Every structure is written in C-alpha cells, then in structure tokens.
Structure 1
Amino acid sequence: MSEVQQGNAGIWTRPDGLAERLTFQRTVPRHLVHRASVAEVFLTDALALGDDRFLVGAQWPRDHALYHPDALGRSDPLLAAETVRQALVYLAHWHYAIPLDRRFVGRRMELDIAEPQALRVTGRPLHVVLQARWEWVDSRPPHRHGMRLEAELVVDGRRIGRGSLHVVALDERRYGVLRRRTGGSGGPVVPVQRRRTLTLPAARVGRLRGKDSVLAATRRAGEWELHADLDHAVLFDHPTDHVPLMVLLEGVRQLGHVLTSRPGEREGQPAVASQLTSLSIDCLAFAELNSPVRLLVTEDRTAPCGTRQLAIDAVQDDRGVAAVTARWHHDETPLSAAGPSATPPLPRVPRQTTA
C-alpha cells in the first residue's frame, strides 16, 4: 500500500500527487455501521483510492462510558477493534452496495497495537485514519458475500498498528437456515430481565462501572464465565440473537486484566495494569444468549521482555465458540523489546467455523 502522509487542513496526499480531503466533521450514518446510537459511531469519512484500497477516517472520543482511557491516559485498544469492524461494514454497504438487510457473521479478527504510547488522550478527540485494503474471500453473490478488510492504523501521520476482520454476509433465508442448524432461532432476542449473576467488581476487571463488568468467577481453576447484561447500552447497542464479537472481546480483555495486573506497591494503591497490545480471535460457532460462555485459559506464557501471552478458549455447553490468543504488555518495559520476534504466537489447532 502506498505511503499516506497527513498534510494541512485534513488533506491526505500520496506520493503520486493524488490529494483528497478526508473529513472528521461528522459521523457516517449509523445504520451503515450497524449501530443504533449515534454516540457509538466512530467513523467520519471514507475515500476510495481504487484497486480495492481506501482511506477511512475515525474520531475517537476523549472519554467513553465503556472504552475509556486507561490509568496512563491512553485510548482503549478495543476502540481500534470496533473501528475496524465499523470500517468493514461501512465499506460493504457504501462502496460495494451489499444490501442493508444482510446478516454479518464474524470469522476472524486480528489486532496489533505496535505503538500504544501514540494513543495518549490529549485536549482534543483523536483522529485515526485506516489505510485499508479489501479482499473478497469465498464470496458467492448475491446471497453470500465473503470479505476481509486489512487496515493500517495511522495517527498524526504515524503508523501505530494494524487490524483485520473477515466476515461473511448472508441473506435472511440463509442466515435463518444457519442459525436453526446451530441451535438458534435466527430472530432478535429482546431483553426481558436484567443480569442476575454476580460479576467481579469493576476495579478488578479494569472498568469504572459495575454494569460494565462481564466476568464472573467459577470454582474451577483457569475458568471464568462471561455474563453480559442484555440491557447494556454499548455492548448490546441493538437487539441480537447471539453474543456479539465485541462482547467476547470485552470478556477476553477483562480476563487479561485480572490475570496480568499486579498489586500496587503500597496498600491502597491501584493495581499496576498492563495493556492489551495484540489479539487474534477465530469465531468457531455462535454463542447463544441463554447459556453462560466459559472462558478457559489453555496456555499462559510470560516472556522476559515484559509481555504476557494468553490462549483462551470460549466454550458453551461443551462446544467451542471462539479461540483467542492475546498479549499484554507491562508499561515499565519498552514495547520495542516485546515485538513478535521476542514472543512468537502460540500455535492454535485449526478448527472449522460455522459460516
């Protein structure tokens, strides 16, 4: 992908002389990123560069009810994951004219934040640009579209990480067949009661509000349960018939905080938190809303360079729904020493997805 540099007044210029304006003045229409609330839309603009390449603009809030800055004032890395998700959905509808009634089923997501220090919150919202490349994967239009988006994340003209997302978009009939085959109804579930399971205190999982905690302890070592409130305004922005990908990622992030944070040096001091810097998740099956999802830590590896890597399986009723590998980094160690060469990815056993 060609290098893109930030110019004056929001102008983005490529070496071949092409100049286009990428704006951050307003959000894109919420229905084009599958959000019900305007407050949860982070995309602001997109430009088609040709050859299935795009620039996508996003504005990250200085603060957010769920995706708030950490103790060191850095933007939440899951904002990057949600921005990549919104970018794929937006480009699918806006540029490739995939019908709005299609159901998007996640297959795999990857995220790598190479320079978390570049995400410090300042006196203005953070402008993020995705240098994105689109790829069709096992696509059989008009009823099935398989797609993958690969994106470099750029802040102030500096590449700070990358992300990718692979999904399949199905028409209503094929989605209904798939859901009935996997035990679901295929229709949205309307929340009728609030969560009854006692989840961990917010501070224990790195959140500010009790309602944001989605993690519950079990009596088995290395096992936790995911219990998200269906009334949660961010995690369940609109009715759904299964546990969304971003809810699974929130559970993984909170579990990583529990396992990798260290107590403060003196009694009463807050925990010394590590930051989520990379993850990959393979979606193996739908996670239903009527049964708890168990998060099993299958491997826990600490590297001398300051990274902690966890392999986590999400299981429901003895059926795997997701396989995750994620890394956390402690702030006192330079991230350059904790790159991929220092801690190679954990091997995962290939499994068949449901879509």
Structure 2
Amino acid sequence: MSVPERGVSEVDDHPALSFQRTVDRSLVHRTAIAEVFVVDSIATGDRQCEVGAQLPLTHGYYSDHLAEPARYDPILLLEICRQAAIYGSHAIVGVSLGTAMIIGSFTLRLHNDGLRTGSRPGDLVLVTTYRGEPTKRGRVRNAGVSQDLVLDGTVVGRHEMKLTALRDSELEALRRHQRGATPPSTADYQGHASGHPVPSHLVGRRDPRNVVLTDLRRGDGGVTATVSPYFGNNALFDHEYDHLPAMVITEAARQAATATVDDGTGALVRNHVITGITASFEHYAELDQKLVASTSTRAMPDGANTVDVAFSQGSSRVAEISLEIVSRRGGE
C-alpha cells in the first residue's frame, strides 16, 4: 500500500520541527515525563499541522520484543499517533484542557522496511489533518484525525482515527450512568488481576510484566485468553483509569494474534511482523468483569495472515481488532 507523496513534500516545505525536548505532559494526557514522546508541532493550515516525536531505542515496554531484526513497535507508533493527535488538538485546534478523547476506531498501515531501528533514536514527523463539524455551541464532539508518518525523511505508514471529545465532567457522569454507580479504578488492582499469565516467550516478550493475557487455550484455528494485564506496568497504566484503555486492549490483540500464528512453542515469534492494525471499540472494558479475547485467522492473497480478535464481556462485544501479520525470515 502506498502513502500519498504529499506527506514528504509538506514536511520539506515548512519550518523545521525542534527535536530538543518533549512537550508539556499535560498536553498529551500523560503523568510521567518518560512516557511523553511528542516534541513539537507547527500549524500548516486550517486544522492541519505537523507534529514531531522521538522514537526511543530502549524502553521497558515498547522495546521488549523477541522479533529480529529489531523494529520500532507498531503499538509505540499508535501511542505516538494518539499523543500527537491530542497535542495538536490542544496546541493547534484549540481544544481546552480537561477534555477526554475517547477512541472509537483506528486504522494503522505500515511499511516495515523503514521501521528498523538504527544507532540513534528515530525522528518521526506526523503530517496531521483534523476533521469534525462544531456544534451550535462551537464544540467538536465527533472528530477524525488522519496522519502520514514520516520517519527520518521516509514515509513509513498512515494512521486514521475516529474519536469523541467529552469534558471530563461529562465523561464521569456518563460512566456513572452506564454502571449505576462510580466504577472501580485501576489503582484498586495490583499485579495480574486473575488467572495464570501466559509464558512471555509465547507472546513475543521477555519481561513477564509486559504480558497482558492469562489462561491461554488453543482451539481449531484460534486461541482464547483472558485479558489480565499487570497493573504495576506504568507504561500501560500511566495514570488511573476506570476501565481497560484502548492501548491495553490493542496490546492484548497483538499478543493473542502472536500466539495464534505461532506453533505453540514460541519458535516462530521472531519471524512475524505486523504490517497493519484495524480496531473498533464498542463499549468500555470494565475492570470488574472478565474480558475474553478470541481469535480467528484469514489467509490473504499477498501471503499475509489477518488475525481477527474479538473481545467480549459476558454477552457484550467490547471491541474487534484485526492485525495483518507477515512472516519474514533470514533477517528480511
């Protein structure tokens, strides 16, 4: 899949972004400075901007992979896309602080040949366009974001996201209404909430604290598992949540897909590369209800496999995430 060449030309036609320091953490909705990757932004038009971010070479969560050769983590790119969209909405579009950005869906397409890590951190430019019509009160509630990803001058992918913007007070009221009471907080949980964590090598990890699945079972053409992350992992839970956030569910999808295309020993994990992720989120993933992930696989004409991961709590479908995975051997 090709990405429009305008991404490169736009980057070249505007003043250079500064990659000297990260932005104010509150503008990307992070608590820890170490989890901020956005460095700068420049307005390039009406609801258009370029956002700069630096990709770390070493990170306790995003760099913890068995795949070789080393590539930048697709979920790191998703997190940066999320941060860049939030930062631009505040710094460029003028969305007020105290506004929650609720992800409805996203699509990420990657050119992995350009995502290998080098000897220095990667400088990523996100050519970003915002969409959305304001209400009579001048607020944009339902918005869209499109981002071309340019890494060290090379177009490496494209991200599109749909989201809903609500004031924090509105979101709190909505959550109380949905449940009939105040929901629990991630601060109330420690370790893995339940079950037997999947051995880390079976989901492409070294550190067991980065494993988010328990009680993995294999069936005909797929796996099922319970989503039960390690709540002490600050990369996943940078601040308190009253639900399992979208990035945790996406990580669960990646791990379930990895286990699905492996042979059950972890031997094939090193050869698999994710080239695309598509997700839709229908309901909040409640902390006090069991969240189950179930996978199925589709073979694609180009030789890739698409693993579909469905997430459910009881009879309610929470999310659906599809990952495109290719096998690359011999250092490809």
- The residue number in structure 2 matching 1:182 is 178
Return the offset for 1:261: 3.1
| Paired residue type of 2:262 | S
Higher relative contact order by CA 8 Å / sep ≥ 6: 1 or 2?
2
Aligned positions of 1:1-355 closer than 5 A: 3=6, 5=8, 12-14=11-13, 19-68=14-63, 70-113=67-110, 115-136=111-132, 141=137, 145-183=141-179, 185=182, 188-195=185-192, 196-218=194-216, 221=219, 222-262=223-263, 271-297=269-295, 299-303=296-300, 305-332=302-329
TM-score, length of structure 2 as denominator length? 0.88
Range moving further from structure 2, 320-329 or 131-140? 131-140
Distance 1:97 1:52 in 2: 10
Structure 1 residues 137, 185: closer, same or farther in 2, change over 3 A?
farther
Structure 1 residues 198, 98: closer, same or farther in 2, change over 3 A?
same
Contact 1:200 1:216 in 2 (8 A): yes
Contact 2:132 2:143 in 1 (8 A): yes
Structure 1: stretches of 5+ with no match in the other structure: 336-355
Contact 2:184 2:287 in 1 (8 A): no
Distance 1:304 1:173 in 2: 48
Contact 2:8 2:155 in 1 (8 A): no
Contact 2:11 2:125 in 1 (8 A): no
Structure 1 residues 269, 95: closer, same or farther in 2, change over 3 A?
closer
Structure 1 residues 334, 122: closer, same or farther in 2, change over 3 A?
closer
Paired residues, what number?
Answer: 322
Deviations 1:112-139 (A, max 9, x none): 10x2121111110011111111101575
Distance 2:301 2:94 in 1: 48
Return the offset for 1:102: 1.6
Q: Which has the higher helix share?
A: 2
| Paired residue type of 1:95 | I
| Paired residue type of 1:169 | A
Structure 1 residues 217, 273: closer, same or farther in 2, change over 3 A?
farther
C-alpha RMSD of matched pairs (Å): 2.7
Return the offset for 1:304: 5.5
Range moving further from structure 2, 39-48 or 272-281? 272-281
| Paired residue type of 1:154 | V
Distance 1:141 1:274 in 2: 48
Distance 1:214 1:223 in 2: 13
Q: Secondary structure of the equivalent of 1:295?
A: strand
Structure 2: stretches of 5+ with no match in the other structure: none
Distance 1:83 1:120 in 2: 17
Q: Percent identity?
A: 27
Distance 1:102 1:129 in 2: 24
Distance 2:5 2:116 in 1: 26
Return the offset for 1:246: 0.4
Distance 1:219 1:330 in 2: 23
Contact 1:206 1:254 in 2 (8 A): yes
Contact 1:22 1:45 in 2 (8 A): yes
Return the offset for 1:156: 2.7
